[in-house]
Amino acid sequence: MKIITIAHQKGGVGKTSLALNIAYCLKHSLRVAVLDSDPQGSISGLGEYVGLKGLDLVPIENLGKVQNQYDVAIIDTPPYLSTLLPDFFELSDYVLIPTKAGVLDVMAIKATIQLLIEAQKKHPNLKAGIVLNMIQKS
């Protein structure tokens, strides 16, 4: 199972939206689990209201139990530097860091990138990328 973690310590940059959009794109050809590690429970809460059809919402604590049931797991992380981020990074195959294009948003990435660099020292195959999110045509 491949694990994609969506992380950024800042709120409002589109982590949950990115996680759900990727999950919906992949669900047509892969078995996808979405794991919500955010105590706010944004994804879990959305599921109650809009019914996330075709997506399995799995409690983060069950990640180890479901590894053989899915092709891809997408982890949505909280909007702060959680002490669990290094653990998620070490489990992951990919880390995506969504951000807005504003100066303050980009500056806020530094701490997440530093955690990522530390994880890559232990897990050199860990791939990562920054996703510019919420870009509007001018």
Per residue in 35-47, pLDDT tens? 988 776 666 666 5
Half-sphere exposure of 92 (CA within 13 A, CB side): 26
Residue scoring higher pLDDT (94 or 44):
94
Q: Per the CATH hierarchy, to which homologous superfamily does domain 2-132 belong? A: P-loop containing nucleotide triphosphate hydrolases (3.40.50.300)
How big is the chain, counted in residues? 138
The answer for residues whose C-beta is within 8 angstroms of residue 97's C-beta and 6 or more apart is: 6, 7, 8, 109, 112, 113, 116, 128, 129, 130, 131
72 vs 111, residue with greater confidence = 72
The pLDDT of residue 52 is 60
**No. of helices (H) and no. of strands (E), the chain:** 5, 6
Query: What is the average per-residue pLDDT within 56-60?
Result: 84
What are the tens digits of pLDDT across the range 119-138?
999 999 999 999 988 777 77
| More confident site: 20 or 95 | 95
- Please tell me the pTM assigned to this model: 0.87
